[in-house]
């Protein structure tokens, strides 16, 4: 393995002379660099989208799964008794870490965005809210509902599942779409490198012939092309990735939206992810060129 790696390195670095054996091909060279740069640029955004949606899905399922709400609609004279009874039930329910009735001020604060600060809360028959914080893998919602129905008739358990599920699903779907895009971008890069390499190989049929006449083996000739296209794809992808990262970096912040939307962007160590794009592009170019070269060398014999 180590010897193989060393040989690989030698071939890659020590092959300047082999590169000279194949004449420079200005136009295909520039095209390859450009295509790799463009693809890397797109890949950065697909990657940002994928990471952002992962974050979103995680946050939604995480935060919403940890809390739920119990709503108690009862005549004013029974309300307090029912709240106490409900809390009693909740405190003996496995999976519930704590249960707490929201105070009048907290309920007011929740309603302010919709009704303004001057809402006369005490004159309205607004249901009492109990916030439930879960622990471990949560409680058994069906069992809890049955117990509440028996002991607290006015209680309605809202465990958020109904509206959380589609959101999490949408985020998950968005993430898969982003990954599909990345795979498609890689495949397109492979296709373009293959075409460029084939053009270069065809244009150099006579060069290949002469190299063979003086005793060059297939791998030597193939490497002259592989090195060239791999380094071009790497250089192009590096430029494209950096440009894409700059673009993401200067996206306007979305934190003002109350932190609910985590914007398209990279956070913390995730900034390292787009740096994987140039080596990946080089890898794709390596295998694409190798396949094209070996095919061509087999045909031209």
Interface with another protein by CB under 8 A: which residues? 17-18, 20-21, 23-24, 207, 209-220, 297, 301
* SS3 category, 129: strand
**Residue 239 CB, nearest distance to another protein (Å)?**
28
**Residue 27 CB, nearest distance to another protein (Å)?**
16
Whose Cβ is closer to another protein: residue 14's or residue 268's? 14
- The end-to-end CA distance of the chain, in Å, is 31
Tell which residue, 13, 34, 3, has the closest CA to residue 223.
13
- Determine the Cα–Cα distance for residues 204 and 201; give it in Å rounded to an integer: 5
Instruction: Retrieve residue 230's tokens.
Output: 């791999």
Tell which residue, 235, 265, 244, 268, has the closest CA to residue 253.
265
Q: Could you tell me how far CA 120 lies from the centroid of its own chain?
A: 46
Instruction: Retrieve residue 271's tokens.
Output: 């900034």
**Residue 34 CB, nearest distance to another protein (Å)?**
24
Instruction: Retrieve residue 60's tokens.
Output: 């939604």
**Residue 168 CB, nearest distance to another protein (Å)?**
56
Q: Phi and psi (nearest 5°) for 133?
A: -105, 130
Within 76-204, residue ranges assigned H as helices are: 76-91, 104-115, 141-151, 161-203
**Residue 232 CB, nearest distance to another protein (Å)?**
19
> Is the CA virtual torsion 115, 116, 119, 121 positive or negative?
positive
- Determine the Cα–Cα distance for residues 183 and 8; give it in Å rounded to an integer: 26
Whose Cβ is closer to another protein: residue 202's or residue 210's? 210
Whose Cβ is closer to another protein: residue 5's or residue 163's? 5
Contact status, residue 39 vs residue 188, Cβ threshold 8 Å: yes
- Determine the Cα–Cα distance for residues 108 and 156; give it in Å rounded to an integer: 20
Q: Phi and psi (nearest 5°) for 197?
A: -65, -40
**Residue 49 CB, nearest distance to another protein (Å)?**
45
**Residue 281 CB, nearest distance to another protein (Å)?**
28
**Residue 206 CB, nearest distance to another protein (Å)?**
9
Alpha-carbon Rg of the chain, whole angstroms? 31
Whose Cβ is closer to another protein: residue 18's or residue 85's? 18
């Amino acid at each position: 393995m180590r010897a193989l790696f060393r040989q690989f390195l030698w071939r890659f670095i020590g092959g300047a002379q082999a590169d000279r054996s194949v004449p420079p091909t200005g136009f295909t060279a520039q095209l390859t660099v450009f295509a790799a740069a463009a693809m890397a640029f797109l890949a950065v955004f697909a990657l940002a989208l994928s990471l952002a949606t992962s974050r979103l899905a995680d946050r939604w399922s995480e935060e919403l799964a940890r809390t739920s709400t119990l709503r108690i609609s009862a005549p004013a004279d029974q309300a307090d008794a029912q709240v106490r009874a409900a809390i009693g039930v909740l405190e003996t329910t496995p999976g519930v870490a704590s249960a707490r009735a929201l105070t009048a001020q907290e309920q007011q604060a929740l309603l302010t965005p919709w009704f303004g600060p001057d809402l006369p809360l005490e004159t309205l028959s607004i249901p009492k809210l109990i916030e439930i914080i879960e622990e471990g893998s949560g409680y058994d919602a069906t069992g809890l509902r049955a117990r509440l129905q028996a002991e607290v008739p006015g209680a309605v358990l809202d465990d958020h599942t109904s509206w959380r599920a589609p959101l999490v699903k949408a985020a998950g779907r968005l993430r898969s779409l982003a990954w599909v895009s990345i795979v498609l971008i890689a495949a397109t890069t492979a296709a373009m490198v293959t075409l460029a390499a084939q053009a270069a190989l065809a244009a150099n049929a006579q060069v290949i012939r002469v190299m063979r006449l003086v005793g060059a083996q297939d791998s030597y000739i193939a490497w002259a092309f592989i090195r060239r296209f791999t380094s071009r794809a790497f250089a192009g992808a590096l430029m494209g990735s950096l440009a894409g990262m700059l673009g993401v970096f200067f996206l306007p912040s979305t934190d003002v939206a109350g932190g609910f939307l985590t914007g398209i962007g990279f956070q913390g160590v995730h900034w390292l992810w787009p740096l994987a794009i140039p080596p990946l592009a080089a890898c794709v170019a390596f295998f694409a060129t190798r396949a094209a070269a070996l095919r061509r060398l087999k045909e031209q014999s």
